[in-house]
Structure 1
C-alpha cells in the first residue's frame, strides 16, 4: 500500500527487471550487485523483483555476527569467509555500517579489514546502511539476504554494527547468531548481559591471546549455567532458540552434575564458547564446526522451519506497518497536512483524537468493503462446489 501505485508486489516484472532477475539466477555477480542496489535504493519495481526471489530461496545458511565495538568482527568475518572458501563453499557478506547523518549511506570504515578474500569472485561483500533502524538492520537487509540466497550463495554472513539491547533484530534475519565478546573485565560482560548476550547461539571470545581471555570465558560459562538454573542469563529462556542442552565442545563447569536424569536436555541448545584469534586464524576452524553443529541442531529439531515461519510473519507485519503508515501519511496530506491540523488543535478548534478518527474513517470503510468482498467470494466458491 505504498504511495507508488505502480509498485505493487503483484505487478509483473518489467522486461529490464526480468532480464536482471534471469542474470542473477544465472550466477552473474554484476546482476546481484544491481539487484541489491535496487533494493537498497527502493527503486521503482523493487517489490515485484523481491517477490520473484522468494521462490528461489531457502537453501543458504544465514549467519549473524555481532558484538561490542572493537571485538574484531570484521577481521573474524574475513577469516570465516576464507575458511568456507577453502572448503569449497561460496560466501555472501552483508556488512551493516552506521548511517551517514548527511546522506543516509553506509560509512565504510571497517571494510579495509576484509582483505583475505579480495579478488575472489565467490566471496561477494556488500556494505549496507543501518538507515537509523533501532536494531541495526533495515528492511533492505532482509531483502538483500534473499537476493544472495536466490543467487546461490552457500553461506550468507551478516555483520552488524555495534552491540546493545536493540541489536536483537538480527535474530529475525539470521539462522545462527554468534556474539563476539573481547577479553575484558566482568563489568563489560555484565553490561552486555542485559541484551546482547541473550540472543547468542554461539559465544566467541575473540582476541583470546590477550590478558583476561580466560576470565571472560569463565564469566560467560557461569552466566550460561546461571541461566540454566533459572537466573537471568542466556539460559533464562530469552535467547535466540533457547538453551539447556550440552554440546560436545562445551561441557558444563568442572564439578557440575552431567547426569541427564530427565532425558530431555538434548531438546534444546546450550551455547558453546569458542576462543579465536582472528588476526592469525586460530580457533576459526572450531568456530566453523560449531556453526555447522548449530545448523544440524536447527534442522534435526525442526527449529529451522519454525524460525522461518516466525521470520515471515514478522516480515508481513513489518511491511504492513510501513505501507499502512505511508497510506495514513497520504490521508493526512489530503486532510490538510499534519502541520495545519496541529495548528487547529493549538487554536482549540479540534483535538488529536477527533483528527485520528476522521483520518481513519475512509481507511476503515475500505477495509470493511474488502471484508465484504472476500466473504462474498468465499460464498461464491462454496456455491460452485
Structure 2
C-alpha cells in the first residue's frame, strides 16, 4: 500500500497530535478534511468497534475506564470517542466524565481519548463520530470504543457504527426493560448490569437473563443470544468476562454476513450524514445557496421541487430509475 505523506501520513504513523488536529477539523468542517479522510479510507476497517450506551447515571464512563485498563493489560491499543452533551452556550462538549478515563489512561500512549459534542444531533450521536472513528482506526488502534450520551430513539444509530453494542444498566432496571424488550433486542449485543456490588444487582441480572434477548441478523444467519453480565466497574469485577463476551460476539459476527451487512449499513449512514451536512450548510448559508425571494415565498413547494431535482440527479448517478414520470419533474 502506498505510503502517505502530510496529515494523512502522520495519522497512519500514529501521531497523537495530528489525529487530534484532524478530529478538530472534522468537528469544525475544515475544508481540507474531506481529502485527508479519503486518503485514510484504505487504511481503515481493521479496528474492533465497541459501542457503550445506557441511561444517564449507569456508570458508562467508569465502565469505559475499566475496559481501557483490561484491554491494555491484554496488550491491545485503545481509542475512545466519548460523545458528550453539548454546552447550550458554546456548543462544546462538557468534559467532566472524561477525567476518570484520562486517569485510567495515565499518560499511556497506547490510549487515545477524545470527546465530541453532540451539538443537538439525534440521540446525542455527533455527525462527526463516524469520521472520528475512521481516524482512530487508521491510526492503528486495535479497539475503538464509542461512548454515547444516553438511551433514546437516536441511540439506535450506535448499531450502525459499532460491531458490538454494550448496553449498560443498573440494579432495578429489569421491570422497566420488560416494556422496552423489542427495542433492546435491536441495539444490545451484550447487556451489563453495572454497580454489581449494590443490592438488587443479582436479581436484576436474573430477571433480564430470563427474558431471553437475542439479536437477529441477515436472512440465513443464526441469531445471537444476548448475554447479561453483572459488573462492578469501580471494583473491576466482571470486566474480564465482559471483554470476553464482546470478543465472542465480534468473532461470531465476523464469520457470517453480519459483519459485511453491518459495514455496508455504516457506510450508507456515513454517506447520508455527509450529504445532509453539506446540504444543510449550503442551504442555510445566505451566501452559499441561490434561494430567491420567489422560492422563499413558498418554502414547501420550493423544497419539493429542489428535492425532486436532486433525486433525479441521484438516480441518474446510481442507475436507479422509476417507471413512469417522476412527480414534480414534468417540466425541465
Q: Normalised by the shorter chain, which TM-score bucket?
A: 0.7 to 0.9
Which structure 1 segments of 5+ residues have no match? 1-16, 225-233, 243-263, 345-350, 375-385
Distance change in 2, residues 1:131/1:197 (3 Å)? farther
Say if 2:66 is the partner of 1:111: no
1:139 equivalenced with 2:109 (yes/no): no
| Mapped pair 1:320 → 2:275 | yes
Q: Which residue pairs with 2:328 in the alignment?
A: none
Contact 2:125 2:154 in 1 (8 A): no
Aligned to 1:169: 157
| CA distance in structure 2 between the partners assigned to 1:125 and 1:73 by the alignment | 15
1:31 alignment counterpart: 18
Task: Flag structure 2 segments of 5+ consecutive residues without an equivalent.
Answer: 320-332
1:57 paired to 2:12: no
Which structure has the larger Rg? 1
Please give the per-residue CA displacement for 1:218-267, whole angstroms capped at 9, x wherever unaligned. 2212322xxxxxxxxx44xxx5748xxxxxxxxxxxxxxxxxxxxx9x82
After superposition, where does 1:129-278 map in structure 2 within 5 Å? Answer: 129-190=117-178, 192-193=180-181, 195-196=183-184, 198-224=186-212, 234-235=213-214, 239=215, 241=217, 267-278=222-233
More deviation in 320-329 or 98-107? 320-329
Is 1:336–2:292 an aligned residue pair?
A: yes
Would the aligned equivalents of 2:7 and 2:36 in 1 still touch at CA under 8 Å? no
Name whichever of 145-154 and 64-73 sits farther off: 64-73
Structure 1 Cα separation of the partners of residues 173 and 134 of structure 2: 39
The alpha-carbon distance between structure 1 residues 189 and 363, as it changes in their structure 2 partners (threshold 3 A), is closer
User: What is the alpha-carbon distance in structure 2 between the residues aligned to residue 329 and residue 70 of structure 1?
Assistant: 37
Answer yes or no: is 1:123 the counterpart of 2:78.
Answer: no
Are 1:164 and 1:196, in contact at CA under 8 Å, matched by a contact in 2?
A: no
Q: From the superposition, tell whether residues 27 and 186 of structure 1 become closer, same or farther in structure 2 (CA, over 3 Å).
A: closer
Equivalent position to 2:259, from 304, 315, 323 = 304
Q: Give the structure 2 partner of residue 70 of structure 1.
A: 57
Tell me the TM-score normalised to structure 1 length: 0.73
In structure 2, relative to structure 1, the CA distance for the partners of 1:182 and 1:197 (3 Å cut) is farther
The answer as to whether partners of 2:123 and 2:151 remain within 8 angstroms in 1 is no
With the length of structure 2 as denominator, give the TM-score of the two structures: 0.84
1:293 aligns with 2:248: yes
Alpha-carbon separation, structure 1, partners of 2:199 and 2:304: 62
SS at match of 2:253: helix
Q: Secondary structure at the match of 1:318?
A: helix
Select the residue among 3, 25, 30 that pairs with 1:43.
Answer: 30
Please name the residue that 1:91 is paired with.
Answer: 78
| Structure 2: distance between partners of 1:199 and 1:39 | 26
